């Protein structure tokens, strides 16, 4: 069926005539549709489709309250469906609490919807000028993505930029302005398409489409040139072995099973290790179920069973007089602990209970006590392999927060245990977020997950090699070398996207105040 330009012009009006409650239902459905732009589906077209229709709804809002509710409903649908996989942690570990799963979905919807409601309210204030409206919404949306990265401990999961995961070219722009900046550009592009029906002259439509093409072409062109001139190098000496035992018994604690798993981990580690020139072995988050300290039985077993020349990096649980930590340790070839990192960004209700003295709740994970937070990112020296920034679990999802301020490691290391979430979208989204950090910082990233996805990512975001989800095995890979001069985003961090967002908001204000501004 042929759709005429006139028919297209009538579409926003048709959508705008929906009754109040029907419009909110549609907004929630559009948010749910947009969630399929995230990995593993990565259907970018769904984000553009849902985003355009949502902006039409928002433009038709009668007042601030309705605009705010439409934004809330869109966010509710996006986050409720997009984060529903979190319920696997309850179903796998605490099935007796399965009655809570609807509350988790609703809770994520309310939480995420609140941020987009603010963005919608801000954009509504600029509704009298279509260009100002779309620019202000894009800027406000980006600012809300940044806010949710630190508010209430922060959770910047499924940023808009992740929708470009399948486009290696566009993803290179992360080196310039990071995930927040790419999200800003994405919503500007969506907005540009959304205002086409409001344009009366076809010549002006062509001008808008040219603008759209220039921006998209710029993103693709920069990425193409960057990858074309990429100087990809690998260390001549360092070969890391990533060990993925695919053990799910970490969900519960049983001493006999833990001993068996530890023995199995060592057996898998040393299988054929002499043949590939392995120098460093990496195990995942809490991979060793026993304390690792100088002279501990677990360390003695490692020294006895594995070749003497290896350096071991492993996740473990560490205790001292201040608390219990989700940690990673570095064990040198003499069996000495030469580096320790304590996870600083803890998962609410997974690793600690917020307001424990008030809320009558316990963690969903094994053990009744809370973990203690570490001091934050640090530079850890690895024998014969340079300096690393260690990231445990979802610490890798925080843009511009993966290394100690003022330092530049040689590579990033992410240890995680994604077994909580089974064969869901979660592990794929987690891995995709790790790719973004590698591009942003211009650093290679090694990721080891006990159940997958494990892999080595070069500083341009290319996956050198990986082990799929729910697969047992090892990878022996030469370590990629970091980009020598780093990246613009790596040097200046979120100052770049925040500056861009404020500049876009300023342009929106100017557009609304210029007299005789042409209105579409």
Closest-CA residue to 442 (of 401, 497, 485): 485
Beta bridge partners of 476: 241
Catalytic site includes residue 343: yes
Using CA atoms, how far apart are residues 114 and 118, in angstroms rounded to an integer? Answer: 7
Tokens at 419, concatenated: 């077994």
Catalytic site includes residue 73: no
Tokens at 373, concatenated: 């937070």
Q: What angle do CA 440, 446, 449 make, to 5 degrees?
A: 120
**Crossing angle, helix 64-82 and helix 44-59, to 10 degrees?**
160
Tokens at 478, concatenated: 């030469």
Catalytic site includes residue 484: no
Judged by DSSP in three states, 84 sits in helix
Mention every residue, 6+ apart, whose C-beta is less than 8 A from residue 315: 283, 284, 285, 286, 287, 288, 326, 327, 328, 392, 415, 417
Catalytic residue among 73, 145, 363, 393: 393
Length of the chain: 520
Using CA atoms, how far apart are residues 314 and 325, in angstroms rounded to an integer? Answer: 14
| Contact between 283 and 255 (Cβ < 8 Å) | no
Tokens at 382, concatenated: 């690895």
Closest-CA residue to 109 (of 85, 129, 81, 86): 81
Using CA atoms, how far apart are residues 351 and 344, in angstroms rounded to an integer? Answer: 11
Tokens at 301, concatenated: 């077993």
Using CA atoms, how far apart are residues 269 and 283, in angstroms rounded to an integer? Answer: 9
| Contact between 169 and 224 (Cβ < 8 Å) | yes
Using CA atoms, how far apart are residues 506 and 117, in angstroms rounded to an integer? Answer: 21
Catalytic residue among 285, 351, 395, 441: 285
Catalytic residue among 73, 130, 145, 343: 343
Mention every residue, 6+ apart, whose C-beta is less than 8 A from residue 105: 80, 81, 83, 84, 87
Catalytic residues: 285, 343, 393
């Amino acid at each position: 069926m042929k759709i005429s330009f006139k028919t297209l012009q009538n579409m926003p009006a048709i959508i705008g005539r929906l009754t109040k409650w029907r419009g909110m239902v549609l907004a929630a459905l559009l948010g749910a549709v947009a969630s399929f732009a995230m990995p593993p589906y990565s259907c970018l077209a769904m984000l553009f489709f849902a985003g355009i229709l949502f902006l039409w709804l928002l433009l038709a809002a009668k007042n601030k309250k309705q605009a705010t509710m439409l934004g809330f409903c869109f966010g509710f649908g996006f986050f409720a469906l997009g984060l529903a996989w979190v319920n696997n942690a309850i179903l796998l570990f605490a099935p007796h609490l399965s009655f809570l799963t609807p509350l988790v979905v609703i809770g994520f919807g309310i939480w995420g919807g609140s941020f987009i409601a603010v963005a919608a309210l801000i954009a509504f204030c600029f509704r009298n000028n279509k260009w100002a409206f779309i620019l202000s919404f894009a800027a406000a949306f980006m600012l809300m993505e940044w806010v949710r990265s630190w508010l209430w401990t922060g959770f910047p999961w499924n940023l808009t930029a992740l929708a470009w995961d399948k486009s290696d070219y566009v993803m290179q722009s992360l080196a310039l302005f990071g995930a927040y900046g790419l999200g800003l550009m994405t919503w500007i592009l969506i907005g540009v398409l959304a205002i086409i029906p409001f344009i009366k002259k076809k010549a002006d439509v062509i001008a808008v489409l040219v603008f759209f093409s220039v921006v998209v072409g710029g993103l693709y062109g920069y990425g193409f040139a960057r990858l074309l001139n990429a100087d990809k190098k690998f260390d001549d000496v360092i070969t890391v072995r990533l060990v993925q035992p695919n053990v799910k018994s970490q969900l519960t604690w049983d001493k006999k099973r833990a001993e068996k798993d530890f023995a199995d981990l060592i057996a898998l580690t040393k299988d054929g290790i002499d043949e590939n020139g392995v120098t460093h072995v990496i195990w995942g988050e809490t991979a060793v179920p026993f304390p690792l300290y100088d002279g501990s039985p677990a360390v003695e077993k490692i020294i006895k069973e594995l070749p003497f020349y290896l350096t071991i990096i492993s996740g473990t649980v560490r205790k001292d007089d201040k608390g219990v930590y989700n940690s990673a340790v570095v064990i040198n070839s003499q069996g000495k602990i030469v580096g320790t990192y304590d996870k600083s960004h803890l998962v609410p209700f997974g690793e600690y209970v917020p307001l424990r003295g008030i809320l009558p709740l316990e963690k969903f994970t094994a053990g009744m006590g809370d973990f203690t937070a570490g001091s934050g990112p640090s530079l850890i020296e690895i024998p014969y392999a340079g300096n690393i920034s260690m990231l445990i679990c979802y610490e890798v999802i925080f843009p511009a927060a993966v290394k100690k301020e003022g330092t530049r490691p040689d590579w990033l290391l992410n240890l995680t245990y994604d077994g909580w979430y089974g064969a869901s979208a979660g592990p794929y989204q987690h891995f995709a977020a790790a790719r973004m950090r590698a591009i942003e910082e211009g650093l290679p990233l090694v990721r080891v997950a006990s159940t997958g996805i494990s892999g080595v990512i070069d500083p341009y975001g290319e996956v050198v090699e990986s082990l799929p989800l729910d697969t047992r095995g090892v990878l022996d890979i030469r370590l990629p070398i970091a980009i020598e001069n780093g990246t613009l985003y790596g040097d200046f961090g979120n100052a770049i996207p925040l500056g861009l967002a404020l500049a876009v908001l300023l342009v929106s204000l100017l557009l609304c105040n210029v007299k005789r501004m042409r209105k579409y």
